[in-house]
Amino acid sequence: MVFTAGQIAGILEGEVEGNPEISVHKLAKIEEGEIGSLTFLANPKYTSFIYTTKASVTIVNKDFIPEQDIETTMIKVDDAYESFSKILEYYNQVKNIKIGIESPVFTADDAVYGKDFYLGAFSYLGNKVTIGNNVKIYPNVFVGDNVRIDDNVVIFAGAKIYSETVIGKNCIIHSGAIIGADGFGYSPNKDGTFTRVPQTGNVILEDNVDVGAGTTIDRATLGSTILRRGVKLDNQIQIAHNVEIGKNTVIAAQTGIAGSTKIGKNCMIGGQVGIVGHITIGDNVKIQAQSGIGRNIKDNEVLQGSPALNYGDFNKSYVHFKNLPKIVKKIEKLDKKIDSDQNKG
């Protein structure tokens, strides 16, 4: 895709200083800019690069005044960072404009889809699937029976959506994600074997949920596993059966959440966090990476460690953890002195 500086300025409501007809077809960092690329300058630390960049067009703040000659065409806007983000979103939308059904695919006779629908090759739509408007399903996606997908959803290649799943508006599901597989439910027998407990529930993703590549979200044993509006999941996360995650909570990669745990809204959970089942985590909780959570957590707590401690307590304790060898030596010296004094007595 090719855009001129004038077209970009029109999208951003900015002003062109330089050649409005110069075109760009790719994006770049300002220090790596090449002819035909678009970049931006927002952080003053990178100002020196605007005089050497080969980028054809650079988005800058309106108050930027060059102190020497520059070759790049500038587009002046109120907020360069925000404007560049807007262009990234626009570019992504234009890039992903796909409409129509490729071949070969399988669609059940009673599957229903809305306008501006795209279905990539080798995909499968099961019985009584209902799909809204402007949904994009890329190649090799499986969508099981009775799945409901609302408007403006994007499902990237290779994702698997099991039966009965409900997906709200504006969701993004990345490659390799598996939504609705059976929860890990088994009952032990006296002879040491295990009997599988049927998982008869489903998964519900409310509006504006993002699911990262390789992430798995299990269906409920009964009822629903629910991700509330605005939840954002990184890659390779495991969400177990009957988990509920509150709105606008974000979770980083390789975190695992065991069954029936409830997580509040606006939480931030770092990478490789382990959370046991059947507990409740409050609102606005922050959990540092690699922490282990094994108890109920109140609102607004900040936690670190395994088992997790209050963040401030953990940092204070860590000072002593590092000094343990010295502390042990001091204790040993004190013991010897006490023994010596007692012997003298």
3-state class (DSSP) for residue 36: coil
Q: What is the CA angle 266-168-170, rounded to 5?
A: 80
Annotated catalytic residues are 241
Phi/psi of residue 331, nearest 5 degrees: -65, -40
Contact 60, 80 (CB under 8 A): yes
As a residue count, the chain comes to 345
DSSP of 275-296: E-SS-EE-TT-EE-TT-EE-S-
- Dig out the tokens for 33 from the structure: 């800019």
Q: Judge contact between 31 and 53, C-beta under 8 A.
A: yes
Q: Give the list of residues 6+ apart from residue 272 with CB closer than 8 angstroms, or none.
A: 253, 254, 255, 289, 290
CB atoms within 10 A of CB 93: 9
